[in-house]
Amino acid sequence: MESEVEMRYLTAAVLALLMAGCGSGPSEGMAPYPPSISVNGVGIAEGTANMVIVSFSINVSDSDPENAVSEATAIAERTIAAVSDMGISEEDIETTDYTIYMEEEYDYENYEYTGENIYHLKHSFKVNVRNIETAGEVLAALVAEGAMVGGLSFTMSNPEELIAEARAKAVANAKEIAEQLAGSLDVTLGEPLSVNEWMDYNNLYDPYPYGGYTEDEYYYGAPPVPASITSFTMNVSVSYEID
**For residue 221, what pLDDT is reported?**
55
- Residues 150-168 pLDDT 10s: 988 888 888 899 999 999 9
Which range has highest mean pLDDT (99-108, 199-208, 221-230)? 99-108
- Residues 128-142 pLDDT 10s: 999 988 999 999 999
Stretch 98-126: mean pLDDT: 93
Range of the domain at 227: 33-49+158-243
Indicate whether 176 pLDDT > 50: yes
Do 108 and 200 fall into the same domain? no
Indicate whether 109 pLDDT > 80: yes
Residue 119 carries which side chain, given as an amino acid letter?
Y
Do 146 and 169 fall into the same domain? no
| Residue (of 49, 228, 202) closest to 130 by Cα position | 49
Structural domains in the chain (count): 2
- Residues 20-30 pLDDT 10s: 444 445 555 55
Do 171 and 88 fall into the same domain? no
Do 217 and 121 fall into the same domain? no
Collapsed DSSP state (helix, strand, coil) of residue 4: helix
**For residue 226, what pLDDT is reported?**
60
Q: Give the residue with greater pLDDT, 185 vs 217.
A: 185
Q: Give the residue with greater pLDDT, 104 vs 223.
A: 104
For position 118, which CATH number holds? 3.30.70.2970
Do 77 and 40 fall into the same domain? no
Beta bridge partners of 219: 212
Q: Give the residue with greater pLDDT, 2 vs 80.
A: 80
Split at pLDDT 50, 70, 90, the class of 75 is very high
Do 164 and 137 form a contact (C-beta atoms < 8 A)? no
Residue that finishes a domain, picked among 127, 155, 183? 155
Q: Report the interhelical angle of 135-144 vs 65-84 (nearest 10°).
A: 150
Q: Is residue 205 part of a domain?
A: yes
Split at pLDDT 50, 70, 90, the class of 49 is confident
Stretch 186-207: mean pLDDT: 79
Indicate whether 40 pLDDT > 70: yes
Q: Is residue 58 part of a domain?
A: yes
Stretch 99-107: mean pLDDT: 93
Residue 12 carries which side chain, given as an amino acid letter?
A
Stretch 101-122: mean pLDDT: 92
Stretch 184-207: mean pLDDT: 80
Q: Is residue 74 part of a domain?
A: yes
Do 114 and 40 fall into the same domain? no
**For residue 217, what pLDDT is reported?**
46
Do 192 and 238 form a contact (C-beta atoms < 8 A)? yes
